[in-house]
Amino acid sequence: MDNIKEKIESKHLVISRVRREIAKELVGQQKLVDSLLTALLSESHLLIEGVPGLAKTSAVKALASTVQAQFKRIQFTPDLLPADLVGTEIYRPKMGDFVTRKGPLFNNIILADEINRAPSKVQSALLEAMQEKQVTIGDETYLLPTPFLVLATQNPIEQEGTYQLPEAQIDRFMLKVVVDYPDRSQELEILKKSEFEVSQKIEPVVTPAEITEIIDIIRQIYVDDKIKEYIVDLVFATRQPLKYGMDIAHYISFGASPRATIFLAQASRVNAFLQGRAYVTPQDVKIVAPDVLRHRIILSFEAEAEEISSDDVIKILFDSVAVP
């Protein structure tokens, strides 16, 4: 345990450098920054939801700029085609053959901007990339580079020109973060920063090799069996709430999948690392659980009619499931 703690302390300098660089572009939004780091340090996908103008895109670009890796931004629009993501085969008349032109998904970090403005056939093409880390062009299958993670932004479904993402695709995102408006002091700081014409350039301060080293350390962080049981209980309570003394079954159409259990443990380890600890506590689980579970709890029509949100259900879970 002491050996792991020493490694964590040494790697915290790397994370501190990343935070300083992101702060050049982003004001506040500490929760969003932690979620971005969690996605990066677990090589998992992140979905960020919020109304336009809350620096969702800027936050993702800032994180990507700190990493010495290939980055590509894709603007999702209603007329986007699957080939615009994965690539296509082009016929060469002089040679009499086809050549494969790879699409923008062949990069390490993908910013899928306004992901829910593209139709379902595009989402299907992205689904294979997110789950299998490979794409199919014609009859050939191509592996995507390592690491590969999708950091997506989306507008609330109530806005014009948005599509509901398929449940299977939403489940591939490790976290779903809801970004709110900044407070008054933060907005004043944003105004002051905007008065300067030249913004500070974000420097790449971490390599993929360093990220891999940190990921290996995070995997060694201790998770007690009681914490593991607590994680499983939280997920099972979304499927069988009556067994945990909660009369909310009529609000839930589908509970969280087993993937939620795996992601909850991974995210808890990363949160422990960010706090400088070599072990996971119940508080780590409580901090990451809303972002891991909110998009995996499918609410019923009755819940929507009574304006019950998935966050409300998660709060009931925390109050009802016994903490070790």
List CB contacts of 136: < 8 A, sequence separation 6 or more.
86, 128, 142
Domain covering 30-196: architecture:
3-Layer(aba) Sandwich (3.40)
Is it the case that residue 157 has pLDDT exceeding 70?
A: no
Mean pLDDT of 120-137: 86
pLDDT of residue 14: 87
pLDDT of residue 271: 94
Which of 207, 38, 9, 193 has its CA nearest to residue 108?
207
pLDDT at 207 over 80: yes
Query: CATH classification of 221-320, choosing from 3.20.20.70, 3.30.300.30, 1.10.8.80, 3.30.565.10?
Result: 1.10.8.80
Mean of pLDDT values over 223-246: 92
Q: Is 197's pLDDT higher than 60? A: no
Q: What pLDDT score does 199 carry?
A: 66
Q: Which tops the pLDDT comparison, 63 or 55?
A: 63
Helices marked H in the chain: 2-23, 30-40, 56-66, 83-86, 120-132, 167-170, 184-194, 208-219, 225-239, 258-274, 282-293, 301-305, 310-320
> Which position has the token pair 């939620």?
260
Residue 166 pLDDT: 80
Report domain extents, the chain. Answer: 30-196, 221-320
Q: Which residues contact 27 (CB under 8 A, 6 or more apart)?
A: 55, 182, 186, 189, 190, 193
The predicted structure's pLDDT at residue 198: 60
Section 66-88 average pLDDT: 88
Q: What's the pLDDT score for residue 141?
A: 87
pTM over 0.85: yes
**Mean per-residue pLDDT over the chain, rounded:** 87
For residues 36-54, give the mean pLDDT: 88
Does the pLDDT value for residue 160 go beyond 70? no
CA–CA separation, 297 vs 48, rounded Å?
A: 17
* 270-291 mean pLDDT: 93
Q: CA-to-CA distance for 182 and 324, rounded, in angstroms? A: 35
Q: Which amino acid is at 134?
A: Q
Compute the half-sphere exposure of residue 158: CA atoms within 13 Å on the CB side of its CA. 3
Phi first, then psi, for residue 38 (nearest 5°) are -60, -45
State yes or no: pLDDT of 26 exceeds 60.
yes
Residue 136 pLDDT greater than 80, yes or no:
yes
Indicate the SS3 state at residue 174: strand
Q: Give 158's pLDDT tier (boundaries 50, 70, 90).
A: low
- Return the closest-CA partner of residue 37 out of 274, 227, 310, 278: 274
Share of the chain above pLDDT 90, in %: 27
Kindly indicate the confidence band of residue 10, based on its pLDDT and cuts at 50, 70 and 90: confident
